[in-house]
Homo-oligomer: A and B are copies of this chain.
Amino acid sequence: MNKPATIKEIAKQLGTSISTVSRALRNAPDVNADTKKAVLALSDELSYQPNRLAQSLRHKQTHTIGVIVPNLDYVLSMMVKGIDEVALEAGYTVMVCQSNESFGREMVNTRRLLDSLVDGFIISVSSETKSFEHFKKIQERKIPLVVFDRITPHLVAPSVRLDNEAGGFIATEHLIEQGYKRIAILAGPKNLGISNSRLEGYLNALKKHKMKRENELIIHCEFNQDYAFFATKELLAMKKRPDAICTISDRMAIGAMLAIKEKGLRMPQDIGLIGFNNEPALSLVTPTISSVEQPSFEIGKVAAKLFIQNLHNSEDMSGVEEVLKPKLFIRESSRKILQRNGRLK
């Protein structure tokens, strides 16, 4: 009772051979109905569980997916949940590693998962990563690799992501429609794709509405609350200060909010503010902060689906590129004009 039963044990007790037992268990056609029944009964009684290790060794696949993410914040943990959901359904187990936005950790994680013999990878690359050799080596070995959320042109692989350009666009256009005239943007690090796309959306919105791009209103700063706080203080200290701030993450929006409050300005009257990701905290703070929501859970699910397709088809899918649309949540921080049809939350 201590050790789990093996196929050999069943064979011995039944006085048959292990190959017959193996076939019976896998419901092979060339085994007698009665013996099949007997095997099944006994294996049930001994509560037989096939040894995954042995199976994996034999089949050279582990039914495990390696997932590497830069962190487990609100958005990414939802995406991981989406991946998990689909993977489990399809009989795959997921191993999640955090790179903590560090290139070194990302390489270590890749290596570790690789020698844990995962069947493939679903990856969101760290912001620090500029060389992609460790991922290309994976691809050379013909190991399936899907990227999501943080995409880079340097890595050609099936991908899933938010339409970040659209996100930046609708946020900015919303501010414009509310009558804001000098809209600043707190963007992220310059080499980060999602940041640049959102910035591009911002610029496109300005262009569409015939507003001039002003470089002093475009701030690149780290992806967190404190940097955003200080960046906003500087923005507000300008002679011609902006009358609205567009951010590319909620953490940054909160940093901005604190700086705005400290300065004694009111939202949305004196200055408009909008975040990105729509974390729950945004509807708890005062004023409540508008934000762009992305379908995180869905993105995770699509990533896993793509991965599994890729695994089965094994034809080249590197061109596949799924892009999902964001949604705007308007709250107090940006609702300067009373709207009849503004969506509340």
Contacts and interface: CB of A to CB of B under 8 A. Distances in A.
A337 interface: no
Q: Interface extent on A, as a size class?
A: 35 or more
A142 B2 CA distance: 8
Interface in A17-51: 49-51
A178 interface: no
A288 to B, nearest CB: 11
A114 B53 contact: no
Contacts of A52: 115-117
Contacts of A95: 93, 95
A72 interface: yes
Contacts of A77: 72, 77
Interface in A79-105: 81, 84, 93, 95-96, 98
A62 interface: yes
A97 to B, nearest CB: 9
Contacts of A81: 98
A285 interface: yes
A100 to B, nearest CB: 10
Q: Which of A50, A52, A141 has the most CB of B within 10 A?
A: A52
Nearest to A251: B280
A233 B54 CA distance: 58
Given A72-B77, A95-B95, A284 B54 contact: no
A254 interface: yes
Contacts of A98: 81, 84
A284 B254 contact: yes
Contact of A1 (B56, B140, B254): B140
A310 to B, nearest CB: 17
A60 to B, nearest CB: 9
Interface of A: 1-4, 49-54, 56-57, 62, 72, 77, 81, 84, 93, 95-96, 98, 112, 114-117, 140-142, 254, 280-281, 284-286
